[in-house]
Structure 1
Amino acid sequence: MKILLNYVITATLCAVITVMAVVVVVKQQRIDDLSHRLTLAQKTAIARKQLVEEARLLQKAMNMSPVRTVTVTAYNPTTDQCDADPLIAASMRKVRSGTIAVSRDLFDQGWVFGRKVRIEGYGIFEINDLMNKRFTQRIDIFMWDEGQARNFGKKNIKAALLEI
Structure 2
Amino acid sequence: MRILFDYTFMPIVCAVLVLMAVVVVVKQQEIDSLEHKLALVEQTAEARKRMVEEVRLLQKAVSAPPVRTVTVTAYNPAVDQTDSDPLIAASMRKVRQGTIAVSRDLFDQGWVFGRKVRIEGLGIFEINDLMNKRYTQRIDIFMWDEDQARQFGKKNIKAALLEI
Query: Do Structure 1 and Structure 2 share a fold, with TM-score over 0.5?
Result: yes
Instruction: Indicate how the Cα distance of structure 1 residues 69 and 84 shifts in structure 2: closer, same or farther if over 3 A, else same.
Output: same
Q: Give me the whole-angstrom Cα distance separating, in 2, the residues matched to 1:142 and 1:63.
A: 28
Shift in Å, 1:57: 10
What is residue 163 of structure 1 aligned with on the other side? Answer: 163
Aligned length: 110
Structure 1: which 5+ residue stretches go unaligned?
1-55
Q: Which amino acid aligns with 2:91?
A: S
Instruction: Indicate how the Cα distance of structure 1 residues 76 and 61 shifts in structure 2: closer, same or farther if over 3 A, else same.
Output: closer
TM-score when scaled to structure 1?
0.63
Q: What is the RMSD of the two structures over their aligned residues, measured on CA atoms?
A: 2.0
State percent identity of aligned pairs.
88
What is residue 76 of structure 2 aligned with on the other side? Answer: 76
Q: Give me the whole-angstrom Cα distance separating, in 2, the residues matched to 1:126 and 1:60.
A: 21
Q: Give me the whole-angstrom Cα distance separating, in 1, the residues matched to 2:57 and 2:134.
A: 29
What is residue 120 of structure 1 aligned with on the other side? Answer: 120
2:145 is equivalent to residue 145 of structure 1? yes
Shift in Å, 1:141: 0.2
Structure 2: which 5+ residue stretches go unaligned?
1-55
CA contact (8 A) 2:57 2:109 kept: no
TM-score when scaled to structure 2?
0.63
Shift in Å, 1:58: 9.7
Q: Which amino acid aligns with 1:110?
A: G
1:95-149 deviations in Å (ceiling 9; x for gaps): 0000000000000000000000000000000000000000000000000000000
Shift in Å, 1:150: 0.1
What is residue 38 of structure 1 aligned with on the other side? Answer: none
Q: Give me the whole-angstrom Cα distance separating, in 2, the residues matched to 1:163 and 1:154.
A: 26
Instruction: Indicate how the Cα distance of structure 1 residues 67 and 94 shifts in structure 2: closer, same or farther if over 3 A, else same.
Output: same
1:44-90 deviations in Å (ceiling 9; x for gaps): xxxxxxxxxxxx99965762110000000000000000000000000
**Ranges of 4+ aligned residues in structure 1 off by more than 6 Å:** none
